[in-house]
């Protein structure tokens, strides 16, 4: 179901047919959906993670990573520094009961985003 279909269904359930408030309510509903989603960053555009838990130019941990085939992983980002010859991502893989990390060159990754953190509100 698309966002617009979800908005229409939500409005219909509240009997907001055409009372002059349907359009603003629909726009507010769609804005709320968009605001609540994590932002995906495109690696090809040079939009790489900045900083991380150990400082501005260090490891950026716990991100979602999509490879160029659309597969989704969790992992980390390691910028080029004394220990890494180039920018790279480490994706967490689980195969046949073995869990480990696989390093991927920047060109193998299409997008990344922050993993949303749970907060009690």
Tell me the β-bridge partners of 13.
none
Higher pLDDT, 81 or 90: 90
What gap in Å lies between CA 91 and CA 67, rounded to an integer? 9
Q: Which architecture does CATH list for 41-114?
A: Roll (2.30)
CB count within 10 Å of CB 58 equals 14
Arithmetic mean of pLDDT, 24-30: 79
Q: What pLDDT is attached to residue 59?
A: 67
pLDDT tens-digit map of 45-58: 888 887 655 555 56
User: Where do the structural domains in the chain lie, given as residue ranges?
Assistant: 3-35, 41-114
Q: How confident is the model at residue 18 (pLDDT cuts 50, 70, 90)?
A: low
Query: How far, CA to CA in Å, does 68 sit from each of 24, 48, 54, 96?
Result: 38, 15, 28, 23
């Amino acid at each position: 179901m698309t966002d617009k279909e979800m908005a229409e269904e939500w409005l219909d359930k509240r009997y907001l047919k055409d009372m002059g408030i349907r359009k603003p309510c629909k726009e507010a509903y769609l804005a709320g959906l968009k605001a609540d989603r994590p932002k995906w960053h495109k690696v090809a555009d040079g939009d790489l993670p900045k900083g991380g838990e150990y400082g501005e130019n260090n490891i950026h941990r716990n991100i979602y990573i999509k490879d160029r085939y659309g597969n989704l992983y969790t992992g980390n980002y390691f910028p080029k520094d004394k220990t890494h010859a180039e920018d790279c991502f480490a994706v967490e893989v689980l195969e046949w009961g073995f869990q480990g990390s696989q390093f991927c060159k920047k060109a193998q990754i299409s997008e990344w985003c922050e993993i949303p953190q749970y907060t009690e509100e």
